[in-house]
Structure formats: structure tokens, C-alpha cells
Structure 1
Amino acid sequence: MDVQAAHSAEVPPVPGAGAGVEDAAASGAERAGTDAAGAERAPGAVATLLTVGLGTLVTLMAFTAPASTLAATAGGLHAGPVAQTWMFTGTPVGLAALLLTAGSAADARGRRRVFGAGAVLLVLASVLSAAAPDTALFLTGRILQGAASAAVLASGLGLIAQTHPAGPHRVRALGFFGATLGAGIALGPAYAALLTQVWGWRSLYWGLAVLAAVTAMATRSVPESRAERARGLDLSGALVLGAGIACLVAAFGEGRSGWTRAAVLVPLAAGSALLALFGAVERRVGEPMLDPALWRSRAFLAAGAGAFSTGLAVVGLFSYLPTELELVLGMSPLAASLLFIVWAGVSAVTALFARHLAGRIGAAAQVALGLLLSGAGQAALYGLRAGGSYGHLVPGLAVAGIGGGVLNAALARLAVSSVPADRSAMGSGANNTARYVGSALGLALTVSVASAAHGRTPADALAAGANRGFLVSAAICAAGAAVVLLAGRERPGR
């Protein structure tokens, strides 16, 4: 099946910077006061949007909770350096390994069903982390939180796509979705730091369990939707992909002690081989979770490249930033998380207004713009020093926040518009897989770079490592923007 042809049947193609089809159609329809296809929102659209927004908010809060509570959690569980790395990366691994599987299952078995199951699993995983007597069970809970978040995120974007037809309704809904991503990242560290300060680190996981339970109950108000033709689950692809991602994250996590050791090179080689095997499996299996036909879609490739770059260079860096601020500047966890809101809060607000870019520039160009703004903001953070002031960080955080907001809104639109309408959850799963594979690797890379620097004191060493990480992430953003523009560029005559 020609994926681009299938999509063009839904919205007529227009010239632009690539993959801006839906954006342009939405903009013209919005000026006319109607949808591109004259369609109205489906019944239950508002309930769907609010429920998916709440679920997305809770999953991102769970994702970023360790950013401001690592020291307290590690102290309470007597966790070593390697375990502390996995406290950060456990949830991204669970997310990245199962997002594609969850998206395929949602399209085939029902998006509301998978979303609700993810919310229930998030309750159980949060309870396990809250009550864990040792590090092993806590990390198990964190990985299961990632698996639950995969079900919520993959099916949630599919639910929005089904209840909000292509046009201004969808543009506004996806802007709201992008804002909840930024809001979850903003609230997570502050929420965790506040509860840890008052009731201890376990309380934040009990709180997440309560919020996830509310999400599960709200799912009953969401209308069910699924693909017209049920597809089988690709278990072999899911196992190979999950194992490959776990190996890569383990390799990057071990890199903090040196990149030429066998503990790094062996899992790195194994992970690369497994991901190559995943590509071969998807070409041979009868009903692949990731349709190989999509690899010929420029919009799909641009969405994947943008999502991976966002995870690697943006999510990875900023997930560890509150911890760096605590250790370098001597800030309290709560103060560091409040400063962090400058970035994440601006990102959430920007995502709400980014819909006004629709129709003016293509979606791929929006993603590239977001990456360039994020990189510029990260470069402006350079100059962090032990015992210094946080004032010089604010402008860079604000600029990076604007870039993050543009990214969150544009990537959601590009993910939905780059796949056939009946595979929207799979498209969301593929896009989020790229994002969270990148974030798991980026977080491990950020920790490794920050830990590898030297200085007169531990704070000086971490400051030097953080400054190096800012420049590395800025360079990755610039490279990612170039790749997105090349991948999303229209072919002559199309």
C-alpha cells in the first residue's frame, strides 16, 4: 500500500517544506470557519481530549519524577551509581520498547481498551515503586511505569485523531496535547520535590497511583475506536525491538565509566545488531507492527528523525538538568525544579499557540525550527559554574522552552498526518518510540558526559561536564534540524 497516496486521499497535497499537508488544509479551513472536509468533532471529543490530556500529564510526571528526587530515592534504597542511572532510564526503556506494540494493539483491539489498561497498569506500577523494599523492585516498578505509559501515549494520540477530524479541530486538539507534554515535564520535578520534602520520596509514587486511578475511571467516558481491519500482534518484532533498545541504553549507561570497555562495546554491538534484525523481521512477518511501506514516506521519516533528535538532545538533557542544578549551584530540589519550570512552562504555553504556524510553514520546517531554537537555548546555558548564580540560565531556558513547544505541537501533527487514518495509534507509537529511544539514550549520554569531566571539586567537575553536555546537545539539535529538512523536502513533481 502506498502510504503517501493513502494520506493524500484524505487531504489534497500542497507545495511546501514537506509534510505540511494537514497544516495547510487546516489553516485554510480555519479561515473559512469550517473543517477541511466540513466534518465536525465526533461525539465524546471533549471527554476524549481531557482524558487523554490527563493521562499524558500523569505519564510525563512519572517520567520526570527522579529529576529532583534522585538523591533522596537513592539514599532511601542504598542504590549505587549504576542503579541511579537506571532510576532515570528505567521508564524510558519501558516506554521505547513497547510503544510500537501498544500502538498496533490499540489499532487492532481498541484504543480506549489499551488506554484504560495502560492507566490501570500505571496504578499498579506506581504502587510497586512506592512500596518497594529494595532497589530491584523499585526499578521493576519504574520499567513497568514505562510500559504503562507506552499504552497511554500510543493509544491517546490515536483517540484524539479519531474524534477530531483533519482541520482546525485537530490542530487545536494536538496543540493541547503538546501543551500537556510540556506541562507534565514542568510539573513532574516540582511535584516530586514538594512531596518528597513534606512526606518523603515514597509519597510521590503513591500520589501518581491516585492520579492514574482517576485517569482509569475517566476512560469510561471515552468512545471506543479501532482500525477497520484487525491486525495480528507482531510478537517477534516486539521482542527483538525491546531487547535491542535495552542493550543500547545499558551501553550508554555504562559509558560514564569509559566508552572503550567491554561492558559498553558488547551491549552496543548487540543492540545495533538487534535493531538491524528488527528491520529484517518487519519485512518478513505477515503483519508487522511497523509497516515497511512507511519507510518510503518522507513525512514519516521526517517525523521519526525529529522525534529521535528531540529525545536525544532535548528530553535527555533537560531530564537531568534539575539534578545538575542541585549539585553545581547548591539549590534545593524544590528550587531547582521551580527554575526548571521556566523551560517546561514556556514549552507548554508555546505549544498552545503553535497552531497559528499551521499553513504558514510546513510541519517539517516547524520541527526544524523547534530544534534550532532548542539548540540555541541550550548553547546559551553554557557558563554554569560551581556556586554561581542561576540568573544567566533564564534566557537560555526560555528560548529552549519556545523551541520545545513548537516541537511538541508540530511532531504530534506530523506523526498523525504521516500514516493512514486507520493506523493513527501505530503512527503515534512509532513517533513516540523514536522520541523515547532518543530520550533514553540521551539521558544516559548526558549523565555519562557530565560524570566524565574533571575538576578541583566534584561540583567543579560536574559543572564542566554540564557545559560540555550543553554544547553537545546544541550540536545534535542543529544536525537533527538538517536531517528533518532533508527528509521532509518534497520530491520534484510530487
Structure 2
Amino acid sequence: MAAPSADRPAAARTLAVAAAGTLLVLVAFTTPLATLPATAAGVHAGPGGQAWILSGMSVGCAAGLLSSGALGDDYGRRRTFLLGAAVLAVGSLLGAAAPDVWLLVLARVVQGLGGAAIVACSLGLIGNAYPDGGPRARATGIWGAALGAGVAIGPFLALGLQAVAGWRLAYVAVALLAVALAAGGRVALAESRSARPRPVDALGTVLLGLGVSALLAGLVEGRSGWTRPGTLVLLVLGAALIAGFVVAEHRSRHPMLDLVLLRRPDFTGALIAALATGAGVLSITSYTPILVEQGLGGSALAGVSAMLAWSGLSALTPLSARWLSGRVSSRIQLVAGLVGCAAGQLALLGLHPSSALVRLLPGLLLAGAANGVLNAALGRQAVSSVPADRAAMGSGANNTARYIGSAIGLALVSITVTQGVGRGGGSDPATLLHGWNTAVLLTAAFSLAGAIIVLLTRTRTTAEAPVPALVR
């Protein structure tokens, strides 16, 4: 792989396109949060279909992140990034034209596959363009800010476009923006790849993609009943396929994910932190609009505005968190971010039907600030904890852990928060808020458990534990 670029204008262009792509993926991901009632009515989706509309893109992202990152490292990060933008555009157009719920869910999965390639390769491109240290800390801080900005912008954009011409217009807008991203990336991005590309790990790609898809599908279906035969089959099948992936990677001469990396405290610590982030703060804050509308009697606009308190600070704090990189170790930043998220989550306890919306602000603001620190640190660790020519794979592995954690957390939150939501859409606010308080405790426990495990993960100096070359 070429050495990180010293060409500042070229690096700045790479960062701009990579951050814009990440922002767009999160805009697409959050689109249904604000428009779910209208979307469900338009495609005749019941409670199960609505769960799949919300989760379909997660399934696609989680299934494609690691494999698309590995392909980007070996066959070109720019090429894979542009292909991801094209797939995101196609999935978005399918969503805009979907006549029924299951075609819309399929479109969301396709969006997720395209988004996976964009997110994984965006960090790989940044890692190639910026040398390790201060410049990379600043760049990954901007990338982390793009995550929060996408979550902040997506629901408002979807709600505004729905008011103009219905919920489908948001999917058309994402498709057009994805085409613009591909055009901009074609001009601005330079190609980068490993100096020693590996053959495609076909068996590992298939086993991981199918295994993660089955596992996440089982978690989504579990919201309707954990003892249903279909749910149990999906969960067991997913676990078996992922176990098969581990065995295949151990035996492969050219694995997609070399298991030697799991011996590195910085790599495993980042994976644990990403998993805890998904199962913790991301899961509970995703339900803020439901909480506001059905538990506190607010409007859809009030719901996405409350979520903005969290996502807005998630976008701002990574820009300042880069100043911590030379003063505080990444491990301590991860621990502090997870503890801050847990504190913010616990501040959301004790809600009742007469609670004012302002009661949410302290917890959401604290959780948002801490989550921004986490995003910046995770982005940096995903690149620095793997060999230089496997940066996109490192990003894919880290974000896969985040999406799997989110799927687990969302399944648990859905069961507890929505137990008061009737099949006809009605709900008992007191029951829903009781479920919310229970869900807060569960997700805060995930955040704290992640912080404790990362804190206990022993960090070694670079001289003691160099990044393995992973050449077999």
C-alpha cells in the first residue's frame, strides 16, 4: 500500500467525500424513524413489517461491512466505495417505488449493503490519506462528526420531504444524493489498496454474510415471540454459520479476518466498545421519537427534535475530541465515553405521563457528548489497531460489532418499551413509560459492562505488541 499521502489538498478532498458518504448512509438509515406511520400505511405494514422496515438496513450493513472492507483493501477502496454509492442509489430507488412492505424491506437491505461498502471504505481511504498521529486524529474526528450529523439530519429531512410529497420522496432524495456522491468520489478520490492483495475469501464471505443476516433476522423476529419456531431456527442457524466462519478463517491461508488480531488488546477493546455502544446508547436513543409521541403525547416533530439533542452533540464533540488524542489514551477515551453514555442513559429514568419534554434534555445532551467522544475514538482505533494495508477491513469489523450490538439492544428495548403498544397502534402511556424505564436500566448496564471490560483490557506499548503483518 502506498504511504499515507502528504498532499494536503488531495487528503482534504478524500476526507470531504468519505465524511459526506458516511453522513449520507446515516441519513438513509434514520429516514424511517420520522415517517414510520405514513410509511406503514403506504405499504400496509403491521407491527412485524414495521420492525423490519426499521431493521432492514441494519441487516444489510452488518452482513456487508467486513467483507466489503476486505474487498476494498485488496481490490481498491475507491472502487468499492463508488460501487457502494451505486448500490445505495439502486436500493433507495427500489424503496421509493416499493408497492408492499416486503419489497420495501428488501430495498432497505440493499441500501444497507451499499452503505456497508461506503462506511467501511471511508475509514480505509482516510487511513491511507492521513498519517497516524494528530492529522489522523483530526480526520477521524470529522468522520465521527459525520455519524452524528447524519443521525441529526436524517429524520428532519424525511419529515420535511414527507410534508412536500409523501414519505417516498425521501428515498428519491437519498438516491439522487448517492449518485452525486459517486460522481464526486470519481473525481476527488485516489485509488488505494494493499501492496499484497489476497484472493477473495469466498467461503468466509458467504458464511459471515449469511450468518449475520440470519442472526439479525432472528433478533428482529424475536420481537414478536422468542419461542416461535421461525425465530429459533434463525438464531440457531445464525450462530452455527458464524461458528463456521470462525473455523474457516482459522484454516484459511488468506482469511478475511485474521484471528491473530483478536490477541491485540487495542483491537479487541475497540470491538467490545463498539458492541456496547450499539447495545447501549444507540438502542435506547433510537426509541426517543416513540417515547415522545406515544408516552409523552408529543408530535412527530417534537420526537425528532428531542433526538436532535443527542445526535447534535454527537456531531459536535468529535471535532474537539481530537485534542485528546495526544493527552489521553484511546482506551481511556473509550472507557470515559461509555461511562458518560451510561450516565446520560440513567438520567432518562423516572419518566411518567406528565413529564415535560425538557426532562429528557440533560440525559440526551450528556449521552450525545459522550457518544461523540466514542465515535471519534472508535474511528481512530478501527484504523490504528490493524495493519496499515487492512484499514478498511478494520473499519468493517468494528462497525459490524456496532450493528450486531444495536440489533441485540433494539430487540430487548423493543420488547420492554413497546409492550404497551397495541396492535392497532394505540398504547397505554403509563405502561410504555414503565417499559422505557426498564429498557434504560438494561441499556445502561450494557454501556457500563463495556466500560469495565475495556478498562480491564491490558494495553501494551507499540514496541511490546506491534501490529501483526498478517502475511501467511
**Aligned counterpart, 1:187:** 153
Contact between 2:318 and 2:373, CA under 8 Å: does it hold in 1? yes
2:433 is the counterpart of 1:466: no
One-letter code of the match for 1:341?
L
**Counterpart AA for 1:207:** A
Find the aligned partners of 1:142 and 1:105 in 2 and give their Cα distance. Answer: 22
Query: 1:319 and 1:339 mapped to 2: Cα distance?
Result: 11
What is the alpha-carbon distance in structure 2 between the residues aligned to residue 424 and residue 493 of structure 1? 20
Cα distance in 1 for partners of 2:325, 2:297 equals 42
Q: Say if 2:438 is the partner of 1:478.
A: no
Shift of residue 444 of structure 1? 2.6
> CA separation in 2, counterparts of 1:284 and 1:101?
17
2:469 aligns with: none
Tell me how far apart the structure 2 counterparts of residues 126 and 306 of structure 1 sit (CA, whole Å): 31
Are positions 1:69 and 2:66 aligned together? no
1: distance between equivalents of 2:162 and 2:421? 31
d(CA) in 2 for partners of 1:133, 1:153: 29
Q: How does 1:133-172 map to 2 (within 5 A)?
A: 133-172=99-138
Deviations 1:58-104 (A, max 9, x none): 00011111111111111111101111111111101100111111001
Matched with 1:434 is 401
Alignment of 1:82 with 2:52, yes or no, is: no
Residues 213-240 of structure 1 deviation map (CA, whole Å, 9 limit, x = unaligned): 1111111211111100111111211221
Is the Cα contact below 8 Å between 1:70 and 1:323 reproduced in 2? no
Contact 1:248/1:441 (CA < 8 Å) preserved in 2? no
CA distance in 1, matches of 2:462, 2:371: 31
Q: Which residue of 1 aligns with 2:198?
A: 231
Q: 2:444 aligned with 1:489, yes or no?
A: no
- C-alpha displacement of 1:325: 1.7
User: Secondary structure of the residue that 1:69 maps to in structure 2?
Assistant: helix
Tell me how far 1:43 sits from its aligned partner. Answer: 5.5
Match of 2:470 in 1: none
Decide whether the 8 Å contact of 1:346 with 1:398 is kept in 2: yes
Query: Which moved further from structure 2: 43-52 or 451-460?
Result: 451-460
Deviations 1:344-364 (A, max 9, x none): 001111111001111222101
| Percentage of identical aligned residues | 47
Give me the whole-angstrom Cα distance separating, in 1, the residues matched to 2:290 and 2:34: 6
CA contact (8 A) 2:420 2:427 kept: no
Q: Deviations over 1:113-140 (max 9, x none)?
A: 0001111111111010011111111111
The answer to whether the 8 Å contact 2:62/2:213 transfers is: no
The one-letter code sitting in structure 2 at the alignment partner of 1:370 is G
| Partner AA of 2:101 in structure 1 | T
Matched, 1:388 2:388: no
Return the alpha-carbon distance in structure 2 between the equivalents of residues 39 and 251 of structure 1. 44
Residue 492 of structure 1 and its aligned partner are, at CA, apart by 13
Structure 1, unmatched stretches of 5+, are 1-36
Any idea what the Cα deviations from partners look like across 1:346-388, whole Å, max 9, x if unmatched? 1111111001111222101111111111111011111233353
Supply the distance in 2 between the matched residues of 1:493 and 1:150 (Cα, whole angstroms): 33
Equivalent positions of 1:439-454 (< 5 A) are: 439-452=406-419
Name the structure 2 match of 1:214.
180
**Secondary structure of 2:45 counterpart:** coil
Q: Which residue of 2 aligns with 1:6?
A: none
CA distance in 2, matches of 1:263, 1:380: 37
Stretches of structure 2 lacking an aligned partner (at least 5 in a row): 465-472
The question of whether the paired residues in 1 share the 8 Å contact of 2:280 and 2:447 is answered with: yes
- CA distance in 2: counterparts of 1:337 and 1:457, whole angstroms: 19
Asked if 1:266 corresponds to 2:233, the answer is: yes
Amino acid at match of 1:214: A
Q: Higher mean Cα deviation, 176-185 or 449-458?
A: 449-458
Distance (Å, rounded) in 2 between the aligned partners of 1:120 and 1:387: 47
TM-aligned CA deviation for residue 260 of structure 1: 3.7
Q: 1:118 aligned to 47, 63, 84, which one?
A: 84
Q: Which residue of 1 aligns with 2:364?
A: 397
Deviation at 1:252, TM superposition (A): 2.1
Larger deviation: 366-375 or 463-472? Answer: 463-472
How many angstroms apart in 2 are the aligned matches of 1:143 and 1:440?
A: 14
Residue 160 of structure 1, CA deviation: 0.5
Give CA-to-partner distance per residue, 1:255-300, whole Å, 9 cap, x none: 3334344343332222222222111111112211111111111111
Does the Cα contact within 8 Å between 1:253 and 1:445 map onto a contact in 2? no
Distance 1:211 1:303 in 2: 31
The structure showing larger relative contact order (alpha-carbon pairs under 8 Å, at least 6 residues apart) is 1
1: CA distance, partners of 2:123 / 2:393:
10
Aligned-partner SS, 1:412: helix
Alignment map for 1:310-321 (pairs within 5 Å): 310-321=277-288
**4+ residue runs over 4 A deviation:** 453-457
Normalised to the residue count of structure 1, the TM-score between the two structures is 0.89
* Residue type at the aligned position of 1:132: A
Distance 1:453 1:331, change over 3 A: closer
**Corresponding residue number in structure 2 for 1:240:** 207
Q: How many residues align?
A: 458
Of residues 316, 321, 324, the one that matches 1:349 is 316
Measure how far apart 1:167 and its partner are. 2.0
The equivalent residue for 2:262 is 295
Which residue of the other structure, out of 139, 149, 152, is the alignment partner of 1:173? 139
- Cα distance in 2 between the residues matched to 1:488 and 1:72: 50
Distance in 2 between residues matched to 1:161 and 1:181, nearest whole Å: 17
Match of 2:467 in 1: none
Check the 8 A contact 1:88/1:443 in 2, yes or no. Answer: no
SS in 2 for 1:288: coil
Supply the distance in 1 between the matched residues of 2:397 and 2:217 (Cα, whole angstroms): 22
